[in-house]
Structure 1
């Protein structure tokens, strides 16, 4: 189970880092033209960049605390924060009628929930 949690954590960290870098460094106009980026048309540049920075921090928070063994409880806490972020993404894409993106966000939410459950529970770093 520990190995599955690490694989899921690594996958989610890559997803978060990719999304974060994209939102932080790609111009908003270019994001709006990309598939699934239409939501950025009605969002401010600051909001999009803030989400990008939060996603980069999530990628770091999913991996670094466990690897360096400093406050490893931050791994499941970060996973819970990702769950909340995905709820917001699902609502946003749902309102826009983007059902495939809602399903994708649901998958990310379930992966994050698995990580939070596993790292708070049976495969806790602190226990």
Structure 2
């Protein structure tokens, strides 16, 4: 960084700064959001595939969440889909799995979360 605005800036310095920023945590990772369908609070996180997903705040015991619906949030804010994997303690779920504006999930625990959100929103 140059203190004097009249000092020329080397293109290499600019590119080095830009390249250092690539792959770092995104400023939106973990940013609070409101679901446009139901109005509930959630958090934006980027997936390992570069897509953005709304995650429910907080974690839940992994044994309550069915395989295929379990996520972990990495230290860089990335939402990692665990597939059939089972973490040793807790995991996260997407807002889309329990959004009361969507269809009721079939799994009992996700259904309970969905019903709780629907009742809070007066949709049950």
| TM-score past 0.5 threshold | no
Relative to its length, the structure with more helix (as a share) is 1
Q: Say which one has the larger Rg.
A: 2
- The TM-score with structure 2 as length reference comes to 0.28
Higher relative contact order (CA 8 A, sep 6+): 1
